[in-house]
Amino acid sequence: MNSDFNIQEYLADGVEYIVKDAIRASIRNPKEILFLHKFSKNTKKATEIRQKYDENGQNIPVFLIASITSSCNLHCSGCYSRSNNSCSDDAPINQLSDEEWEDVFRQAKEMGISFIVLAGGEPMIRDDVIAKATEFPEILFPIFTNGTMMNEDYLKLFDANRNIVPIFSIEGDEETTDSRRGEGVYKQLVESMEVMKKNNIIFGASLTFTNNNIYSLISREFIDKLHDFGCKVVFFIEYVPVNGETKRIAPSDEKRELLLDNIECLRKEYEDMLFMSFPGDEKTSGGCLAAGRGFFHINSHGGAEPCPASPYSDINVKDTSLLEALNSKLFKSLREGDILMDDHEGGCVLFEHREEVEKLLEN
């Protein structure tokens, strides 16, 4: 790792870039522009808060990923949440209440965290938690949803609270999406997108890219289709293997470079859309951003984990503060060690070194 690399400068520049591109993509949407200008001021304040922490030797990430439920109404093939038993059809037991999530959001705001990704399971099952998120306009809450639970109440909520942005998961065309997510899901997705566009509410799409599908996802034909649907934000999410057998379809370095090059082109060709990749280019970010370097994960039961794809925890936010969770023994060991900076063949470095992460829990 480059000793001159400044993680806070990198994160602050990233936030500024995201907000700038979001404003450009929303230029014809007065409600969205008004929100984004206010949000831009709030992100500057959040950056100042994080910088003060940094001066005292404490790095605060920009992003928090919150899996607000372990329940889901779909059975998508290759789902890492189901593969590691963090997602099921059963009624949730001992999950964080809406009041507990509200406290997490409050602490995050006070620490200078600007983005909280709401995930699951299917996060729109927890309308009580999403209602709590509307009380924090300083934070942007992308909701990564399968798009099957849109209704009139949610439509009104999204219209009234522009800090809540649904991100619909789609795999490509109808055949590809339904083959992974279930028959009829693509049609429901399109209907949800159409009603969002009709009501002039910003939404995005989440595309899980692999070695096998990257060419179809970056094709101008597919991006044009998303554009026609009214999609303003596109997340390219790197596929994380659920076991050794699926590792072969995780993106190679070559496919990652292909994606990054194409994202640069897409940003120029589609000025009214925002394109992002996750986890992004680890070479420019000084390594993996998990374990609190740039983000961390809280599961539905309150366990603080390095990443959703690395479901290991030694501390729970039910028992401690968010700041103490960031300084857990596991997180500190990962940040101070070599694992996050290690080269890997593709997919997820924490998945590739999962046995080493498990040993850290034993020490």
For residue 281, the model assigns a pLDDT of 60
0.75 exceeded by the pTM? Answer: yes
For residue 1, the model assigns a pLDDT of 44
For residue 248, the model assigns a pLDDT of 79
For residue 76, the model assigns a pLDDT of 66
Architecture of the CATH domain 7-362: Alpha-Beta Barrel (3.20)
Return the HEC string of the chain: CCCCCCHHHHHHHHHHHHHHHHHHHCCCCHHHHHHHHHHHHHHHHHHHHHHHHHHCCCCCCCEEEEECCCECCCCCCCCHHHHCCCCECCCCCCCCCHHHHHHHHHHHHHHCCCEEEEECCCHHHCHHHHHHHCCCCCCEEEEEECCCCCCHHHHHHHHHCCCEEEEEECCCCHHHHHHHHCCCHHHHHHHHHHHHHHCCCCCEEEEEECCCCHHHHCCHHHHHHHHHHCCCEEEEEECCCCCHHHHHHCCEHHHHHHHHHHHHHHHHHCCCCEEEEECCCCCCCCCCCCCCCCEEEECCCCEEECECCECCCCCECCCCCHHHHHCCHHHHHHHHCCHHHCCCCECCHHHHCHHHHHHHHHC
For residue 186, the model assigns a pLDDT of 92
For residue 66, the model assigns a pLDDT of 97
Domain boundaries, the chain: 7-362
For residue 18, the model assigns a pLDDT of 87
In the chain (363 residues long), the average pLDDT of successive 10-residue segments reads 68 84 85 91 95 95 95 69 62 88 98 96 95 97 93 95 95 86 91 93 92 92 95 90 72 88 93 85 72 93 92 95 96 89 68 83 79
For residue 161, the model assigns a pLDDT of 96
